[in-house]
Amino acid sequence: MTQYRSVLITGASSGIGEALSHTLSAPGVTLHLSGRDAARLETVAAACRARGATVHPQVIDVRDQAAMEAWIAQAAPLDAAPLDLVVANAGIASGEGRTGGEKLERTRDIFGTNVDGMLNTVLPAMTVMAAQPAGPDGLRGRIAVIASVAAFMAIPDSAAYSASKAAADAWTVASARGARARGIQLTSVCPGYIRTALTARNEFPMPGLMDADRAAGVILRGIAAGRIRLVFPWWMGLLTRMLGLLPPGLTGKLMPNRTGESA
DSSP assignment letter at 136? T
- Tell me which residue of 116, 37, 128 sits closest to 85, measured CA to CA: 128
Model confidence pTM above 0.75: yes
Q: DSSP letters of 57-111? A: EEE--TT-HHHHHHHHHHHTGGGT----EEEE--------HHHH---HHHHHHHH
CA distance 63 to 197: 21
**Residue 89 belongs to a domain:** yes
One digit per residue, pLDDT tens: the chain, 263 residues?
678 999 999 999 999 999 999 999 999 999 999 999 999 999 999 999 999 999 999 999 999 999 999 999 998 775 557 899 999 999 998 755 444 566 778 899 999 999 999 999 999 999 999 999 999 999 999 999 999 999 998 887 788 999 999 999 999 999 999 999 999 999 999 999 898 877 767 777 788 889 999 999 999 999 999 999 999 999 998 988 988 888 877 766 666 544 444 56
**Residue 70 belongs to a domain:** yes
**Residue 92 belongs to a domain:** yes
**Residue 145 belongs to a domain:** yes
**Residue 76 belongs to a domain:** yes
160 in Cβ contact with 261 (< 8 Å): no
How many domains would you assign to the chain?
Answer: 1
The catalytically annotated residue of 4, 71, 161, 193 is 161
**Residue 1 belongs to a domain:** no
**Residue 259 belongs to a domain:** no
**Residue 38 belongs to a domain:** yes
Work out the number of other CB atoms within 10 angstroms of the CB of residue 36.
Answer: 16
Q: Note down the domain range covering 211.
A: 6-254
Active site residue 4: no
CATH of residue 37's domain is 3.40.50.720
DSSP assignment letter at 112? I
